[in-house]
Amino acid sequence: MAQIDDLPPLRDVIRRHGLSAKKSLGQNFLLDLNLTARIARAAEPLENITVVEIGPGPGGLTRALLALGARRVVAVERDERALAALAEIAARYPGRLDVVAGDALDVDVRVHLGPERARVVANLPYNIATALLVDWLTAEPWPPWYDDLVLMFQREVAERIVARPGGKNYGRLAVLAGWRAEARILFDVAPSAFVPPPKVTSSVVRLTPRPVPLPCDSAALQRITEAAFGQRRKMLRQSLKSLGVDTGALLEAAGIAPTARAEEIPVEGFVTLARLYAARAPAATA
């Protein structure tokens, strides 16, 4: 594939800016611009789209997103060492890259977005990947401020996101993701593609928000799934006891057998339970 831009190779960028990878920041960099272009292509079409990127690091994915036509990239990076490298990319693409220095868990990216549609595309720092995803899936109002999430996770997390009832991967994350989005794994990326290589394979996942998910309070859904999957081997009549409501009556009203276990219940069943629970214990879900 032809070079995606005329900026220096990422290895040079990393050397010049002293960007040795820090484990504490989940830094596993992608240096192959063909691969970052493949991830950016998974998020196409990018024209007229503002992309929110979490953790641009030396900017391999950022460069691919800009080269492939994203109108603007808003990139949130916690590592100050990366800011000078990102400034070089911003200079190459005037007016199209805004870098927000800070912790993605604290930054409200909506403040930095214009009226155009936003899409989140990121090779996420693995230590906060699930927390960020839960934040995005529980966004209010719904439909959310983004039209798609194209995200790299550890393969094991990706499998938990797309899991269906009946298996060991099915849990809180699958219920939340299934409730509000359609999620699919697009492709895997081998450890050898990263510097330094992580221990496990990674996967790119695309989550498309459902325009009209089943109505349900996300706090109630999280309480229910926390209780149900916290003791996943137990029958629901037992595992839901910590909710402090009449578990038998709750399950009966939801049409769920009290002997059922969490991993057998489809997303719709949890949504029904959450709705009934919120009606019975509004204070507990606020």
| Binding of ligand SAM by 203 (CB under 6 A) | no
Q: Which of 33, 86, 104, 173 binds ligand SAM (CB under 6 A)?
A: 104
| Binding of ligand SAM by 123 (CB under 6 A) | yes
Q: Which helix (H) or strand (E) holds 84?
A: helix 83-92
Cα angle, residue 199 at apex, residues 196 and 201 outer, rounded to 5°: 100
Size of the site for ligand SAM (CB under 6 A): 23
CB of 10 to ligand SAM, least distance (A): 8
Q: Measure the CA–CA gap between 176 and 118, rounded to whole angstroms.
A: 21
Report the SS3 class of residue 135. Answer: helix
Q: Which of 14, 49, 50, 55 binds ligand SAM (CB under 6 A)?
A: 55
- Residue 103's Cβ-count burial label (10 Å; 0-12, 13-18, 19+) is exposed
Q: Measure the CA–CA gap between 37 and 65, rounded to whole angstroms.
A: 7
Q: Measure the CA–CA gap between 155 and 193, rounded to whole angstroms.
A: 14
Q: Which is nearer to ligand SAM, 91 or 131 (CB)?
A: 131
At 95, the amino acid letter reads G
Q: Which is nearer to ligand SAM, 60 or 144 (CB)?
A: 60
| Binding of ligand SAM by 25 (CB under 6 A) | yes
Q: Which is nearer to ligand SAM, 135 or 147 (CB)?
A: 135
CB of 182 to ligand SAM, least distance (A): 25
| Binding of ligand SAM by 56 (CB under 6 A) | yes
Residue, CB closest to ligand SAM: 55
Write the DSSP assignment of 5-43 as a string of letters: -SSPPHHHHHHHTT----GGGT--EE--HHHHHHHHHHT
Q: Which of 33, 49, 76, 149 binds ligand SAM (CB under 6 A)?
A: 76
CB of 56 to ligand SAM, least distance (A): 5
Pair of tokens at residue 206: 């695309």
CB of 135 to ligand SAM, least distance (A): 12
Q: Measure the CA–CA gap between 112 and 216, rounded to whole angstroms.
A: 29
Q: Which is nearer to ligand SAM, 81 or 241 (CB)?
A: 81
CB of 94 to ligand SAM, least distance (A): 21
| Binding of ligand SAM by 60 (CB under 6 A) | yes
Q: At what angle do helices 155-162 and 129-137 cross, to 10 degrees?
A: 20
Q: Measure the CA–CA gap between 119 and 259, rounded to whole angstroms.
A: 42
| Binding of ligand SAM by 30 (CB under 6 A) | yes
- Residue ranges that bind ligand SAM, judged by CB under 6 A: 25-30, 54-57, 60-61, 76-79, 82, 103-105, 123, 125, 128
